[in-house]
Amino acid sequence: LVKKLQALGIKLAWAGSYEGILHRDISAVNQRLTDECRRYSELVPIGSINPTLPDWESDLQQCQHNHQMPGIRLHPNYHGYTLTDPRLQALLTQATTAGLFVQLAVSLEDVRTQHQSLQVPDVDLAPLPELATKIPGLRLQLLNAKLRPDLLNKLSQTPGIYFDTARVESTDGVPALMERLPAGRVLFGSHAPFLIPEAALVRVYESSILENADLKSVLTDNATQFISASKARQKHPARVRVKTHDSTKSTPPRLSAGLPDSEVLENYRIWDSYFTPAHSHPGRDGSTSLIAEIERAMPAIKTGRFEKLCYFPHVGIGTT
């Protein structure tokens, strides 16, 4: 994993442990994580905490004092509690008082690909806005979240809630998310090694409409501010800067966003599948809107040096 991060130009990564999902001896899990991360300057350990276990307060103190961790990670769906559990509020309060940030893993694996005997639904985030308002100074990042527009709007209006890009999909998905949220609230995330980190990097700037400053913010600056213990926030944060086609200003060279060189990407010989959206209409003439959707994806295809793009129309009862 570290070699992959180095190859992609990723200088620092917040690392958790999959053991923290199922093991009950959380203290030992966090110790092993810390020992492993000490071997690599690129890895910052983020300890797991399970508030349903006895003496979780001691585990939290060890993360802060013994391991010098900047934050902790929670897995409510695997640890068997909801966001209305009073133990969670107590944990978030103590973590915030200690100056730690909190990462809440909304999902580990897409529910559509889970084995029928091992179904774990995504965390229900509906109670989160009310919960967050009870804990001033809370810094909580949602990991691997795919949010409904109405819930995203509520969370965007809740101070202290941050987001990652690991499961942001669709063309222009990351720029669209940044435009819908206050500045500084979107942090790069790859969900590696569970998902391919190259794909996450391509999605960040596949549309080529974000200015370099905004690419840098999502890849580096927002995480730097998030990890800081400072509670200072801008009163009037700047909106995302998006390039327009009629702009006459010179544009600095594009950031590489950590992607491999073009020759390396070409050697991967990437084949991908394009599925027509099941919920969209192809246009009055049967093709205009469909072709426009494919054209919107072309910057990502060219950036990734895809060798083939396999087209699959969504055909069935009620479709055109």
CATH code of residue 58: 3.20.20.140
3-class SS at 168?
coil
Q: Which residues of the chain fall below pLDDT 50?
A: 230-255, 278, 319-320
User: Is 66 contained in some domain?
Assistant: yes
47 phi/psi in degrees, rounded to 5: -75, 150
Residue 275 token pair? 């599925």
User: Is 5 contained in some domain?
Assistant: yes
Range of the structural domain that residue 97 is part of: 1-234
Is-above-0.95 flag for pTM? Answer: no
Tell me how far apart the alpha carbons of residues 173 and 213 are, in angstroms, rounded to a whole number.
Answer: 18
Q: Could you say which of 194, 216, 234 is where a domain stops?
A: 234
User: Is 18 contained in some domain?
Assistant: yes
Same-domain check for residues 148 and 269: no
Same-domain check for residues 152 and 86: yes
Selection from 170, 171, 147 nearest residue 162 by Cα: 147
Same-domain check for residues 228 and 269: no
User: Is 189 contained in some domain?
Assistant: yes
User: From edge to edge, which strands make up the β-sheet containing 101-105?
Assistant: 47-48, 71-74, 101-105, 140-143, 161-164, 186-187
Same-domain check for residues 276 and 156: no
Same-domain check for residues 144 and 275: no
Q: How far is CA 149 from CA 45, 83, 180, 280, in A?
A: 32, 20, 10, 17
User: Is 243 contained in some domain?
Assistant: no
Same-domain check for residues 119 and 170: yes
Q: How many distinct helices (H) and strands (E) make up the chain?
A: 14, 10
Predicted local confidence at residue 193, as pLDDT: 86
Same-domain check for residues 109 and 196: yes
User: Is 241 contained in some domain?
Assistant: no
User: Is 251 contained in some domain?
Assistant: no
Same-domain check for residues 271 and 217: no
DSSP label of 111: G
Same-domain check for residues 92 and 151: yes
Same-domain check for residues 229 and 270: no
Handedness of CA 11, 306, 202, 143 (dihedral sign): negative
Alpha helix segments (H runs only) across the chain: 2-7, 19-22, 26-37, 56-61, 76-79, 86-97, 128-133, 149-156, 173-180, 197-205, 212-216, 222-227, 262-268, 288-303
Predicted local confidence at residue 292, as pLDDT: 78
Q: Could you say which of 234, 250, 278 is where a domain stops?
A: 234
Tell me how far apart the alpha carbons of residues 38 and 105 are, in angstroms, rounded to a whole number.
Answer: 24
Predicted local confidence at residue 203, as pLDDT: 78
Predicted local confidence at residue 234, as pLDDT: 32
User: Is 125 contained in some domain?
Assistant: yes
Count the Cβ atoms, other than its own, within 10 Å of residue 137: 11
Predicted local confidence at residue 138, as pLDDT: 95
Same-domain check for residues 41 and 189: yes
Predicted local confidence at residue 237, as pLDDT: 41
Type of residue found at 138:
L
Cα dihedral 58/59/60/65 (nearest 10)? 80
Domains identified in the chain, total number: 2
Predicted local confidence at residue 317, as pLDDT: 53
Please give the span between the terminal C-alpha atoms of the chain, in angstroms, as a whole number.
Answer: 44
**156 and 179 in contact (C-beta within 8 Å)?**
no
Predicted local confidence at residue 154, as pLDDT: 95
Same-domain check for residues 20 and 164: yes
**Cα of 189 vs its chain's centroid, Å:** 4
